Amino acid sequence: MVKNSTPAKLNVTPLSLDFGSLKGGDQKTLLLTVGNSGGQELIWAADKGEARWLTLDPDHGKIAAGTIPQSINMTVDTARLTTGQQSTAIKFSSSGGTVSVIVKLDVTAPPTPQTGITVTPAPTSTPTTTQRQISSTQTQLQTGNATGSGQTTATNAQGTLTFYNLRADYSFIVPAGTIWTGTDGIKVVNDARVCLDPLPVGGSTGGYQVPAHTLQTGTAANIAIGDVNMIWGDSPFASTSSCSSASTVHKNALYALNVPLSGTQQVRNNAAFTGGQDAQPYAFVQKSDIDGIATPLEKSTKQATIYDIQQQLQPNEHLVANPQCDPPNVSSDHNADDRVSQVTVTVTTTCKATAST
């Protein structure tokens, strides 16, 4: 990324603040803004000198390039001043230049109680004061990276094994959990017990299908059609009775014949196994990711609303008090623990103020 080489530049608005006529003991607050029109971060501080009757909130700060100006509350307290014209200069120093702001006001004496003869002054007209409500809603969003990291668990492949009885004079039982090794070394386990009735005389059987899974995990466990294709015999679990007519003892205890029965049974996978997945790394959203994006957005949206309210003031208006802001509304396109690489956070802030002539 190419950084902007333009130096920071200080902008202060307005350059003169006139608080008008205030009675001794009164306080009044006006707003000004400090901005940065340069290409690098601006670091600024305000020096009010010996003017202890004047406060600034805040009186220093940092403004990144390209962001909105910061709002400054300037308050005068006439309780520390004598009557008459008062003025001072506030010096704003920064990494992007120096600016002075002139502050003026006229302090009048507070009314003193009268004793004895009371003189009633002639009625005078009172200037008309009007007030109105000003509001502003600002929305900002930002996208950041999800910093959580994890890894998926490798999975077995799933499929079906088909068993065939190649003899017409015996039935056979294959216990659940029997392991069969394919031509590529992948071991497959039938998940259910299967009983093979004798082959019909002069006929054939479509086989007996049972669900099965691989012992190995990962994509290598997704075996192709016919990877398991075995003919075997000498099964101890054989009977001259069919599965349907075999006794309960035969079905559950598996009656054994001590006779060699070579090449009497076959097992084959007639379809490929699927679902085997390798372990994979993944990113996920953490709550700190959302909070880390939302916190600066909450501050910048509040500054943006206050700045917008100031821009809505007419030349003869001022704010009665500082703008009041609702709690920011924070939302994100993903929640914590969601498995994504990025998250976008949106913050909306609404502020209101009363303007008066």
Six-digit token string for 126: 């009172």
Q: Structure pTM?
A: 0.53
Lowest mean pLDDT among 171-175, 185-189, 272-276, 312-316: 171-175
pLDDT per position as a tens digit, 260-297: 455 678 899 999 999 999 999 999 999 999 999 999 99
| pLDDT the model gives residue 242 | 62
- More confident site: 266 or 240: 266
255, pLDDT greater than 50: no
pLDDT tier at 305, thresholds 50, 70, 90:
very high
| pLDDT the model gives residue 1 | 44
| pLDDT the model gives residue 237 | 55
What does the alpha-carbon distance between residue 214 and residue 355 come to, in Å, rounded to a whole number? 76
Average pLDDT over residues 6-14: 91
| pLDDT the model gives residue 121 | 64
Domain boundaries, the chain: 1-109, 134-148+280-357, 156-268
Q: Which residue has the tokens 């009625």?
A: 123
| pLDDT the model gives residue 123 | 65
Strand partners, 353: 134
What does the alpha-carbon distance between residue 118 and residue 263 come to, in Å, rounded to a whole number? 132
Distance of CA 233 to the CA centre of its chain: 61
Tell me, which fold does domain 1-109 have in CATH? Immunoglobulin-like (2.60.40)
Average predicted confidence (pLDDT) for the chain: 85
Strand partners, 54: 76
What does the alpha-carbon distance between residue 325 and residue 340 come to, in Å, rounded to a whole number? 33
pLDDT tier at 43, thresholds 50, 70, 90:
very high
